[in-house]
């Protein structure tokens, strides 16, 4: 990891988001450096998903700025579609396209967004299936795959666009315990290869293994933002400590 003065890949500055009168995000700020993995934890309803959805402009922030790759992406929301090509997202419920096979799920965006030929898209998909360790499931449909396999295909689908940043929203929360490992392993491998990532998860084992930075959110605010060493070294904010005690028991 470089410690040069290059600006962060992603920078959130005072992001606000309300639904009606209900403020879901209050002045959230966050820096994510290139090649870094940030883990976000926090109680349900604290705004973690909304924060991720603001980053790729699925939810446009009400105020504040988001800089991605050197540009303020909140300045003109008409560019949202273009921005999203460079930011991969993985969902709790996988959301694989049900009418497409695993390999077709991965090929769709390269073909329809980047205009890559079917043959080239197939090559990209085949490589990625190997990367997520299930080349043999290429022609299976989502409803024929286990949750862990589906989530790994979903990761491959996002990677097919060669994103600069990956967003994971509780990627293992919908999985049976025995499948959590295979998904976290793939994510940790990507992180160690330098894939910049933001991961909302309560898997503290993964955080210990892969995170450079840990963020604790509560009631729409970033309460704690610590390096992995600080966080696991014990210098943790009181509220974060209490939350950790809850999820670890």
Q: Which of 49, 74, 151, 201 binds Mg ion (CB under 5 A)?
A: 49
Q: Interface with another protein includes 100 (CB under 8 A)?
A: yes
- Alpha-carbon span 88 to 161, nearest angstrom: 8
108 contact choice in another protein, Mg ion, ligand ADP, none (CB below 5 to 8 Å, kind-dependent):
another protein
The smaller minimum CB distance to Mg ion, of residues 90 and 111, is found at 90
CB atoms within 10 A of CB 49: 20
User: Which residues would be at the binding site for ligand ADP (CB under 6 A)?
Assistant: 19, 24, 42, 44-50
Closest to 168 in 3D by CA, of 192, 185, 151: 151
Q: And the tokens for 56?
A: 């790729």
The smaller minimum CB distance to another protein, of residues 56 and 225, is found at 56
Strand partners, 129: none
Q: Which of 109, 128, 180, 187 binds another protein (CB under 8 A)?
A: 109
Q: Interface with another protein includes 101 (CB under 8 A)?
A: yes
With left for phi above 0 and alpha for psi between -120 and 50, is residue 49 left, alpha or beta?
Answer: alpha
Least distance (Å) from another protein to the CB of residue 155? 12
Q: Interface with another protein includes 2 (CB under 8 A)?
A: no
The smaller minimum CB distance to ligand ADP, of residues 42 and 88, is found at 42
17 contact choice in ligand ADP, another protein, Mg ion, none (CB below 5 to 8 Å, kind-dependent):
none
Site string for another protein, 36-75 (x = CB under 8 A): --------------------x-x-----------------
The size of the interface with another protein (CB under 8 A), counted in residues, is 30
Q: Which of 134, 153, 158, 210 binds another protein (CB under 8 A)?
A: 158
* List of residues contacting another protein (CB under 8 A): 56, 58, 81-89, 91, 93, 95-101, 108-109, 112-113, 139, 141, 154, 157-158, 161
List residues near Mg ion by CB under 5 A.
49
């Amino acid at each position: 990891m470089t410690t040069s003065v290059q600006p962060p890949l992603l920078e959130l500055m005072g992001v606000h988001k309300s639904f009606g009168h209900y403020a879901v995000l209050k002045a959230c700020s966050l820096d994510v450096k290139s090649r870094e993995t940030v883990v976000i934890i926090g109680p349900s309803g604290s705004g973690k998903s909304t924060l991720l959805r603001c980053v790729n402009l699925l939810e446009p922030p009400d105020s504040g700025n988001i800089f991605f790759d050197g540009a303020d992406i909140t300045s003109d929301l008409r560019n949202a579609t273009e921005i999203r090509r460079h930011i991969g997202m993985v969902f709790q419920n996988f959301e694989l396209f049900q009418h497409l096979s695993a390999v077709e799920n991965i090929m769709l965006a390269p073909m329809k967004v980047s205009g890559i030929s079917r043959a080239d898209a197939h090559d990209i998909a085949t490589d990625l299936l190997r990367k997520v360790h299930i080349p043999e499931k290429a022609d299976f449909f989502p409803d024929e795959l286990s949750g862990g396999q589906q989530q790994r295909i979903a990761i491959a689908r996002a990677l097919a666009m060669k994103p600069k940043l990956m967003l994971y929203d509780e990627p293992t929360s919908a999985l049976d315990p025995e499948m959590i490992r295979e998904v976290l392993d793939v994510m940790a491998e990507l992180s160690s290869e330098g894939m910049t990532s933001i991961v909302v998860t309560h898997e503290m084992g993964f955080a210990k293994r892969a995170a450079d930075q840990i963020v604790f959110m509560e009631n729409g605010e970033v309460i704690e933002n610590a390096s992995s060493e600080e966080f696991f070294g014990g210098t943790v904010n009181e509220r974060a400590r209490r939350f950790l005690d809850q999820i670890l028991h």
